[in-house]
Amino acid sequence: MPTIAYVNVFTRDLARAVAFFEQTLGLAKEFADPKLGYASFVAGPVRLGVAVAAPEQAHYVGRQTGIGFDVADLDAEYARLVALGVGFEAPPQRYPWGGYMALVKDPDSNIYYLDQTSVMHG
């Protein structure tokens, strides 16, 4: 059976994206190559790739990614990121299906889920 090894998101500015994912979110950087226009981060068993969007890929920047990050304490992570000036599409909230999540934006306005999955399972 196939497994997901990595997902890619697009950016207009690789250095800015690398700083966000490494320094702000705290993901471990595997590598970043400005000439290649690509960086890779460890995000659990799945890698997160960040690629500079070519002109014909510009429409892939600044949209909902469908990518979710699990955090142990969503309220604390939300407060930490807000204090750092990170933008959110939606603050933490509970959903009828049992989830507790927020929608966070990277510097390109790509949107990600921040989930506290222990709320659903614990």
Q: Does pLDDT of 115 surpass 70? A: yes
Q: How confident is the model at residue 117 (pLDDT cuts 50, 70, 90)?
A: confident
CATH number at residue 114: 3.10.180.10
**pLDDT digits over 11-57, tens only?**
999 999 999 999 999 999 999 999 999 999 999 999 999 999 999 99
Domain span including residue 47 = 6-121
Residue 24 lies in a domain: yes
Exposed/middle/buried for 94, CB within 10 Å: 0-12, 13-18, 19+? exposed
Q: Does pLDDT of 87 surpass 70? A: yes
Domain count of the chain?
1
Residue 101 lies in a domain: yes
Paired tokens of 20: 């966000």
Residue 1 lies in a domain: no
Residue 112 lies in a domain: yes
Tokens 């250095």 sit on residue? 15
